[in-house]
Structure 1
Amino acid sequence: MNLFRLFSILTALLCTQVASAEKSSPQIIADIVYQKGQASAYAAERCKLDLYLPAVQKDFPTLVWLHGGGLTSGSKDSEKQVALARHFAEEGVAVAMVNYRLSPKATYPAYIEDSSAAFAWVKKNIQEHGGDAGRVFLGGHSAGAYLALMVSLDAHYLEAQGLTPDAICGLIPISGQTLTHYTVRIERGQPKERLMADEASPLFHVCKEAPPMLILYADKDMEMRVEENALLASALRAAGHEKTTTSMIKGRTHSSVAHDMANAGDVGFAEVMGFIQAVKAE
């Protein structure tokens, strides 16, 4: 083997190693304050997001992600949220991992307003970080999915940010509550088990103008969650929404349907990536 050939092979191997390192190491910008002038120290503490940016790409899509936790717990800094964000960024989709205020320190609709403000910040600023402002998606798991649905379906939240729901390229709720959230019911002094679908419910606001939507849930999801998501999809279609896709992920629970998206080869992750690419192509 001549020296030139050897040099070429070594150079190719080095480039492959560099590319692999870049893929596994997204750029992270932590603790961005997404709304100014918070009314309390608690709001100033919680209303922050982390950006996970693909290492070597430009004009990438971005997923604004809202963690679960029943509106009473959860953090963008948890191990599972960080792993999920890294996986998406490694595959070319930026993630804005969002913290929002939690009950009971904050009550309805504060956490929806925070989620809307976080989305608006990303929409207005992601281009400065290399992203495509026309391809900003909104998603979340469980309580985070509830928040994402409320932001996208009740237009007044984004209107308060100077945006309309069509600013959302696509919506990705995973195992979300589509009735009035049980934490909101508790805040009102009502039994957790009392089912409602009023103005604090995504079902109350279904419309044909909603963004394209991928509704995911697990075959072993928590009680009623499969039925709630199926009802949302049915209600959207009945309202004339033509871009609703649903998928029940087999072999998953309420938690693992989202958390396993951090794993290579996960079916749910592939569904989300396919959805993002499909909306991109339109």
Structure 2
Amino acid sequence: MKNLITTFCMLFISLSAFSQEIAYQEKKDMTYTSNGDAYSRERCKIDIYYPAGKKDFTTLIWFHGGGLTGGNKEIPDYLKNKGIAIVGVGYRLSPQVKVEDIIQDAADAVKWTFEHIAEYGGNMRKIALGGHSAGAYLSLMLGLNRSYLADRNISTEMLLGIASLSSQAITHFTARKEKGLTEFQPTVDELAPLFWVRKDAPPILLITGDRELEMVGRYEENAYLKRMLRLVGHPNVKLLELDGYDHGMTYPAYPLLLRELENWTKK
């Protein structure tokens, strides 16, 4: 027992020393859009949190949740001080703009990151997309429908992976609302990640809460997305269900996200 306690103490000291060796910096409210209207200038901003003095680090572009109707850019506390950079993205919201416009904003933020991350020491070949709920939906739409990034001269093959925490896989309920549909009228069209399944998409991590506690059909949507990706030959898609957790399952999911991010980086 004494040796075990000593081992844990040494591990704690080692981890503490590691965290102290790396200094982190944060820059806020940088505009990433070329749109000149006041609402775009207000919403289309990013914060970047990165390990200063470190080179070749991995970057996670993080899209916030809020149903595409609310929320603000964020850098989750749990993801800080983990040796990676996080780019927290703000975007315009419905009903001021359409869901298609919001996805375009997200694509512009990815373009900004590819063009500028090297200035902070990052590697443009180590950029992953991630988000919770509506943010996860944006990540999947960008990674599966290759046209959004292709229009910005970025191939989805350059993405390290997609970390989706409790996304909708069918057409987002806010997009359905634009057509006069309710959340209980499931639809799969061009604004559904499921519409764009393909075998050559980036690696994908899907995490949801407990199927009995999640929002309407959220686990089942993700299970179907995984199944369809496998059927078309996608080699690297993983689905995790967090038993006992509802839609706000971000903390149990964050460590799993970081582990998968490390796995992608090693390949």
Q: TM-score, normalised by structure 1?
A: 0.84
Give the stretch that moved more between structures: 189-198 or 148-157: 189-198
Counterpart of 1:8?
Answer: none
Against the structure 1 CA distance between its residues 226 and 75, is the aligned structure 2 distance closer, same or farther, given a 3 Å change threshold?
same
Counterpart of 1:280?
Answer: 265
DSSP-derived class of the 2:79 partner: helix
- The answer to whether structure 1 residue 114 and structure 2 residue 105 are counterparts is yes
Gaps of at least 5 residues in structure 1 are: 1-15, 261-266
Which one of 131, 147, 158 corresponds to residue 122 of structure 2?
131
Alpha-carbon distance in 2 for matches of 1:19, 1:151: 34
Alpha-carbon distance in 1 for matches of 2:266, 2:63: 25
Alpha-carbon distance in 1 for matches of 2:111, 2:69: 23
CA shift, 1:19, in A, is: 6.1
DSSP-derived class of the 1:172 partner: strand
Alpha-carbon distance in 1 for matches of 2:156, 2:48: 22
1:76-225 → structure 2 map (5 Å cutoff): 76=73, 81-82=74-75, 84=76, 86-219=77-210, 220-225=213-218
What is the aligned-residue RMSD (CA, Å)? 1.9
CA shift, 1:222, in A, is: 1.6
* Per-residue Cα deviation, 1:59-93 (whole angstroms, up to 9, x for no partner): 110000000000000001xxxx34x1x43230111
Counterpart of 1:269?
Answer: 254
Alpha-carbon distance in 2 for matches of 1:186, 1:90: 39
Which one of 22, 30, 33 corresponds to residue 32 of structure 1?
30
DSSP-derived class of the 1:136 partner: strand
CA shift, 1:190, in A, is: 2.5
Mark the structure with the bigger radius of gyration.
1
- The answer to whether structure 1 residue 64 and structure 2 residue 61 are counterparts is yes
Alpha-carbon distance in 2 for matches of 1:230, 1:162: 31
CA shift, 1:17, in A, is: 8.0
DSSP-derived class of the 2:244 partner: strand
DSSP-derived class of the 1:278 partner: helix
Letter in 2 for 1:29: K
CA shift, 1:188, in A, is: 1.8
Alpha-carbon distance in 2 for matches of 1:63, 1:17: 23
Counterpart of 1:234?
Answer: 227
Give the stretch that moved more between structures: 55-64 or 220-229: 55-64
Letter in 2 for 1:54: P
CA shift, 1:55, in A, is: 4.2
Tell me the matched-pair count.
252
Counterpart of 2:3?
Answer: none
Counterpart of 2:10?
Answer: none
Alpha-carbon distance in 2 for matches of 1:91, 1:236: 30
Alpha-carbon distance in 1 for matches of 2:222, 2:173: 15
Q: TM-score, normalised by structure 2?
A: 0.89
* Per-residue Cα deviation, 1:223-267 (whole angstroms, up to 9, x for no partner): 200101111100100111010011112332101x12x2xxxxxx4
